[in-house]
C-alpha cells in the first residue's frame, strides 16, 4: 500500500519537474498541476490563481462532456484561446495539468512540448 503511494507521488513529482522546464519556455506564464490529493502551482501572477484554477477545471470538465456527446473518444487536450492568454489543459492518468501561455508565437512549440511530455 505504501509502495503504491510512493509510486504515485513520484509520478506527480516527475510531472512537476517536467512542468518546471516548460515554465522556463518563453511565453509560459504559469501552470497548475493537481490530482485528488495535491496541487502544485507556479504562476507569474498569483492574483489570477482562483480564476485560472476555475477555468482549467471547467475546461477539462466541458471537454469530457463534449467528447462523450460527440463520440470523439478520449480527450488528449483542450486549448482555450483567450484574447490575452491561451490555456492548454490535459490529463495524465489522474493528474490534471493546465499551462498558461501569453505569447501567440510560442503556442505551437509549447503545445508540442506538452503533448510529448504526456506521452513520455
**Which spans of this chain sit near another protein (rule: CB under 8 A)?**
48, 51-52, 54-55, 58-59, 62-63, 65-67, 69-87, 100, 104-105, 107-108
Give the nearer residue to another protein in terms of CB position, either 12 or 59.
59
The set of cell numbers assigned to 81 is 484561446
Give the nearer residue to another protein in terms of CB position, either 15 or 75.
75
Give the nearer residue to another protein in terms of CB position, either 19 or 55.
55
Half-sphere exposure in the Cβ direction for 20 (13 Å, CA): 7
Length of the chain: 120
User: Nearest distance from residue 8's CB to another protein, in Å?
Assistant: 24
Amino acid at each position: 500500500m505504501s509502495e503504491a503511494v510512493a509510486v504515485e507521488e513520484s509520478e506527480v513529482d516527475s510531472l512537476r519537474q517536467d512542468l518546471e522546464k516548460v515554465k522556463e519556455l518563453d511565453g509560459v506564464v504559469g501552470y497548475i498541476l493537481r490530482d485528488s490529493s495535491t496541487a502544485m502551482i507556479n504562476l507569474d501572477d498569483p492574483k489570477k490563481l482562483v480564476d485560472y484554477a476555475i477555468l482549467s477545471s471547467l475546461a477539462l470538465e466541458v471537454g469530457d462532456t463534449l467528447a462523450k456527446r460527440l463520440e470523439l473518444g478520449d480527450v488528449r487536450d483542450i486549448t482555450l484561446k483567450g484574447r490575452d492568454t491561451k490555456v492548454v489543459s490535459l490529463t495524465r492518468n489522474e493528474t490534471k495539468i493546465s499551462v498558461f501561455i501569453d505569447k501567440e508565437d510560442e503556442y505551437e512549440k509549447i503545445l508540442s512540448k506538452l503533448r510529448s511530455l504526456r506521452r513520455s
